[in-house]
Amino acid sequence: MRQGHNHNHRQYPRQTKPTRPIKTNRAPRRIFLFAICVSIIVLGVFIVNAFRQGQAAYDNYSNSGYTASPSPRHPLNAGGYSQYNSDNSQYNGHSPQTLSFNELADISNDLLLLVNPDYAVPPHISGNLVRISGYVRALNPAAILRDDALTHLRAMFDSAENYGFTQFRVTQAFRTHEYQQNLFEVMGEGGLAAPPGHSEHQVGLAVDISYEGVNIGNSVQGDWLMANSYRYGFILRYPEHKTEITGVPFEPWHYRYVGLPHAYYMTAYDLVLEEYIQLLQQESELTVRLNGVTYTVRHVSADETIVIPEMYSFTASLDNTGGIIVTMWPN
């Protein structure tokens, strides 16, 4: 009884509260809330789908589907330069070798493939895709990346930890053509997503990186990556002052693995991949000194052959514009 009395008593002040804002204001608010709910559901479906696609892509790769073969495409056994090492298609020559464009194309590691609005992802790409969880922090546990890029990405993140940057995280890695298509449709023409067939993410060599889930643009973490990524073979692919050349807006989060000594040279001379390949086409040969090693980087056209000197190691990569870039260094 007393409780009932108290209850009634307590209700009294509530009824004297000012009435809510006039009803006409509530309709837009409901529509707004409804729109938010719909957006959350759409986003949720998209994320789940992305996760599934990552998983499916990994399974496809495990069963061979996408790549022509694990790189190199056709391991060459004749001629003394066939020693294939685990760092993806590096060959050690013991005697001078003359190699044609086609022979080089067969052993391309594809690290320097140019993929941009003008050059589409080729149908076959070298490399082994591996799941990145367990190696580096990732938003999507099913995310996959080329194994050589992952090895160096991990080294980069490990090094960052020595500077106190412990929360770098991969937000995007390899994407299938279908995923890129969905993304493009969601983002719309002129959005940040490249059209399907024109995203570096489809090559398995690009990563989007965040810090504690936050955009690294204008942050000390972003600055650290910009200053140090080349040491690990990565380049900031779409710098702010190169948008006219790349055709892509500034993306402080997007890094591309090209390997050394290329990342070093491009960073030292402030070149994006488009400019680097163009320079190699013009100069035909560059010399890069790094960590006491002198590398010769040579552009080879379709009708050319190249002589690998005695006691040199080398790698080759198609550039996706009709040439091959050969990197040689003394054993």
CB of 139 to Zn ion, least distance (A): 13
To the query of whether residue 189 is one of the catalytic residues in this protein, the response is no
The runs of H, that is alpha helices, within 144-242 are: 147-162, 177-187, 220-228
Which residue, 54 or 323, is less far from Zn ion as judged by CB?
Answer: 54
How many alpha carbons fall within 13 Å on the CB side of residue 304? 13
Phi first, then psi: give them for residue 30, nearest 5 degrees: -65, -40
User: How far is residue 99 CA from its own chain's centroid?
Assistant: 31
User: Cα angle vertex 112, ends 175, 73, to 5°?
Assistant: 80
CB of 171 to Zn ion, least distance (A): 8
Sites for Zn ion among residues 272-331 (CB under 5 A): none
Q: Is 204 exposed, middle or buried (0-12, 13-18, 19+ CB in 10 A)?
A: buried
Q: Which of 175, 198, 254, 256 binds Zn ion (CB under 5 A)?
A: 254
Which residue, 148 or 208, is less far from Zn ion as judged by CB?
Answer: 208
Which residue, 84 or 169, is less far from Zn ion as judged by CB?
Answer: 169
Rounded distance between C-alpha atoms, residue 54 and residue 84, angstroms: 29
Contact status, residue 267 vs residue 280, Cβ threshold 8 Å = no
User: Cα angle vertex 185, ends 179, 186, to 5°?
Assistant: 90
Rounded distance between C-alpha atoms, residue 180 and residue 121, angstroms: 12
Site string for Zn ion, 181-220 (x = CB under 5 A): ---------------------------x------------
Q: Which listed residue (251, 283, 285, 304) is catalytic?
A: 251
Could you tell me how many residues of this chain bind Zn ion (CB under 5 A)? 2
Q: Of 16-24, 186-194, 250-258, 319-327, which segment contacts Zn ion by CB under 5 A?
A: 250-258
CB of 251 to Zn ion, least distance (A): 6
Which residue, 263 or 300, is less far from Zn ion as judged by CB?
Answer: 263
CB of 240 to Zn ion, least distance (A): 15
Annotated catalytic residues are 251
Return residues touching Zn ion (CB under 5 A). 208, 254
